[in-house]
């Protein structure tokens, strides 16, 4: 499944195009639209499908081309966002095989009352055009810090863990101020937060898998570590997942 707010076409799902490019003849393939939280929404959907035993493996992708929906005259938004893609593969295993590794807990939320704080001013059913991204940054910041700290705490409770058990937080790379404020609210030292916004900018649904890949490639995240993924995006949608990698 593919999380994106910038699909190649209105339909079909971009996931089906990826399926064809990978040479897979038949599988479940669909897009998930939850903007910056899309990857975490897709992770929970994939985890739920694997736990039923009907499916064995899932490729979960976050991919965006936000440069296509930016207003380059609006310097409050156009300098913040980037294009990118990242992915993880999940596999269903028996508890004995997994040896404690895998997705320990997920928690998702949405509150559609805040549409006017972060949105794209277009669409096929309204204006018939793609539209451009619009954001009220100060209000988004306030909601993000409160919501992200709360959902991370919720997910840790579900997993039976505390903030002291966390080895790494891999957040949505919105901006450095949100990352710092959220970590402080949870009492987490900043050195436990993986930051790639200075390299990739805000790549929406792609930012969490990109940051996770960076931290695994450079050796920070190691097998057995407790990792918390978190994100909030337009809608508002937000969520968190606790993993033992």
Report which of 34, 61, 95 is spatially closest to residue 239, judged by C-alpha positions: 34
b/e string for 127-140 if b means 16 or more Cβ within 10 A?
Answer: eeeeebbbbeeeeb
* Active-site entry in 27, 143, 175, 202: 202
Residue 78 bears catalytic tag: no
DSSP 129: B
Residue 202 bears catalytic tag: yes
If phi over 0 gives left and psi between -120 and 50 gives alpha, with beta otherwise, what is residue 221? beta
If phi over 0 gives left and psi between -120 and 50 gives alpha, with beta otherwise, what is residue 13? beta
Report which of 173, 181, 165 is spatially closest to residue 227, judged by C-alpha positions: 165
Residue 172 bears catalytic tag: yes
Decide if 14 contacts 31 (C-beta within 8 A): yes
Sign of CA dihedral 110, 177, 191, 35: positive
**Gap between the Cα atoms of 151 and 232, Å rounded:** 10
* Active-site entry in 55, 109, 172, 175: 172
Q: Cβ neighbours of residue 41 under 8 Å, at least 6 residues apart?
A: 3, 32, 34, 108, 237, 239
Report which of 233, 87, 227 is spatially closest to residue 159, judged by C-alpha positions: 227
Residues with a catalytic annotation lie at 36, 172, 202
């Amino acid at each position: 499944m593919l999380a994106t707010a910038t699909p190649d076409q209105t339909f079909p799902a971009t996931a089906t195009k990826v399926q064809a490019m990978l040479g897979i003849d038949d599988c479940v393939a669909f897009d998930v639209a939850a903007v910056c939280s899309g990857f975490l929404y897709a992770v929970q959907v994939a985890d739920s499908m694997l736990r039923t035993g009907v499916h064995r493996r899932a490729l979960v992708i976050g991919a965006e081309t936000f440069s296509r929906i930016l207003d380059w005259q609006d310097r409050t938004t156009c300098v913040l966002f980037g294009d990118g893609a990242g992915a993880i593969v999940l596999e269903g295993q028996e508890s004995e095989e997994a040896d404690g590794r895998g997705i320990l807990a997920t928690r998702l939320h949405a509150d559609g009352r805040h549409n006017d704080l972060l949105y794209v001013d277009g669409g096929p059913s309204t204006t018939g055009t793609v539209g451009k991204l619009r954001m009220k940054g100060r209000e988004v910041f306030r909601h993000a810090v409160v919501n992200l700290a709360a959902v991370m705490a919720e997910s840790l409770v579900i997993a039976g863990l505390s903030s002291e058990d966390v080895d790494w937080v891999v957040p949505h790379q919105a901006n450095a101020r949100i990352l710092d404020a959220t970590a402080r609210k949870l009492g987490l030292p900043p050195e436990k937060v993986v930051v790639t916004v200075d390299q990739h900018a805000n790549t929406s649904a792609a930012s969490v898998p990109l940051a996770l890949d960076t931290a695994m490639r450079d050796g920070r995240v190691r097998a057995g570590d407790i990792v918390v993924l978190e994100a909030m995006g337009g809608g508002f949608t937000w969520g968190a997942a606790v993993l033992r990698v």
